[in-house]
Structure 1
């Protein structure tokens, strides 16, 4: 004869099952190791735990990458990406290579890396930026790590460079290209991410509707500041549910369906 389960214990079992199956939210691109967050980090990590949010924490340079690694060591909710941002292309590339080689088993990915003519003042700057990008791509390829790519005003150049690499898990963060470039990104198998501007930017809403649903990720790119309904506040990881909600409305899904899809997509990007 089977043992009877009391209503109280049945309730507890149900809660435990729900908690075990709860969907995780992901911020696919945030600079959590930025100095802007230092004073609030303890609170931010508690928010992440409470809301079930994990963060792909990207880095700017060698020093910032060290902070990212420390943060990831302190919390398993922080997924460390290290690299050299195109703004910091003059940083010590050899030191970054050493850092990647010494820590590759602990890394979730390489980033933020890429191209951006905004930070180019002469031909040598452009060459250096491209060299850094290509070198770090090669290390992503070597260690089979996903890469988080900055491609502002440089998408076509990024596409051209990426044809030489077998990196299968590449994210074009904060996608801001044309419909034609979006189709190219989908053809090349890239992931693309959309941020809090999705709440109010019609052009981004259109792009989301045209994106392969299996390639959509969401991000904040914090501590970038946002206008309009965000009142120029720095991006916070707690904005992620709002971005998910907007994406769900655009794609005609429930919030839970969208969150589940994004969790699956992010795990695919991370190679999990």
Structure 2
């Protein structure tokens, strides 16, 4: 079982950027809220600096499950330093993330090649260390689905899944988990995707501090949004809230025990 896995905590925010400066002033309140609500968090990182911050937060609370890595936006960050950071802290790191591909952040073919090199290097490290991954796949889902079979990673999360039904089917064939967040509360497209997802592959997330509209009033996502996401999920899947919490707890256990 990976380090920092917490039993008897029913809910999991599978993807949130707790190291983001927007949360810094309220961190003690956030950690207290997590304890009161019984919510763990896969705290993902963007680069070397935020990864170190994530590890510091994890040292303060065992509800924070530290994921470290280089986000595709930060593809120019020092890869060697990241590899060293992961290897030096492999006993306390819960997973590798946020990693992935996103052509939005590249200008040239060389940029995308560098982005892909970073992604595949960190996937290889996750495989060798037997760590789950949290993967960013905006507008690159087909490329990522082609890469996945090259690695043996049982805890492979396509966070904020935004693909087609066909891509979802392919992701399920490859054994991936997918996560849905606050946008699912008001997006019919996301609700349709959720209803077509095998129940043993579903996780929930906030992706904070992303801001959400409609009932969330463009507020930065907080971990306390998770019960609302689960409530919506319950209605879509036609099951009780408690059954949904139990289902998600089992799914998060399997994801984290990659």
How do 1:96-115 residues align onto structure 2 when only pairs under 5 Å count?
96-115=82-101
Shift of 1:126: 0.4
Residue 44 of structure 2 contacts residue 66 of structure 2 at CA under 8 Å; is this kept in 1? Answer: yes
Shift of 1:120: 1.0
How do 1:2-13 residues align onto structure 2 when only pairs under 5 Å count?
none
Matched, 1:240 2:220: no
The equivalent residue for 1:220 is 206
The equivalent residue for 2:38 is 52
Shift of 1:23: 5.4
Shift of 1:22: 6.2
Residue 72 of structure 1 contacts residue 79 of structure 1 at CA under 8 Å; is this kept in 2? Answer: yes
How do 1:1-272 residues align onto structure 2 when only pairs under 5 Å count?
24-271=10-257
TM-score, length of structure 2 as denominator length: 0.96
Distance across 1 between alignment mates of 2:114 and 2:9:
42
1:105 partner SS: coil
String of CA shifts for 1:99-133, please: whole Å, max 9, x gaps.
Answer: 00000111110000000011010111100000000
Which structure's residues are more often helix, by fraction? 1
Shift of 1:26: 0.5
Where does structure 1 lack aligned partners over 5 or more consecutive residues? Answer: 1-20
Where does structure 2 lack aligned partners over 5 or more consecutive residues? Answer: 1-6
CA-atom RMSD in angstroms: 1.0
String of CA shifts for 1:50-87, please: whole Å, max 9, x gaps.
Answer: 00000000000000000000000000000000000000
TM-score, length of structure 1 as denominator length: 0.91
String of CA shifts for 1:1-48, please: whole Å, max 9, x gaps.
Answer: xxxxxxxxxxxxxxxxxxxx9651100000011110000000000000
Distance across 1 between alignment mates of 2:257 and 2:179:
16
Aligned length: 252
Residue 113 of structure 1 contacts residue 149 of structure 1 at CA under 8 Å; is this kept in 2? Answer: yes
Residue 47 of structure 2 contacts residue 77 of structure 2 at CA under 8 Å; is this kept in 1? Answer: yes
2:40 partner SS: strand
Residue 14 of structure 2 contacts residue 205 of structure 2 at CA under 8 Å; is this kept in 1? Answer: yes
Q: Which structure has the larger Rg?
A: 1
* Stretches (4+) displaced over 2 A: none
Residue 146 of structure 1 contacts residue 170 of structure 1 at CA under 8 Å; is this kept in 2? Answer: yes
Residue 23 of structure 1 contacts residue 260 of structure 1 at CA under 8 Å; is this kept in 2? Answer: no
Distance across 1 between alignment mates of 2:129 and 2:42:
18
Q: Give the direction of change, closer, same or farther, for the CA distance of 1:104–1:255 in structure 2 (3 Å limit).
A: same
Query: Which structure has the higher relative contact order (CA within 8 Å, separation 6+)?
Result: 2
The equivalent residue for 1:12 is none
Q: Give the direction of change, closer, same or farther, for the CA distance of 1:79–1:22 in structure 2 (3 Å limit).
A: closer
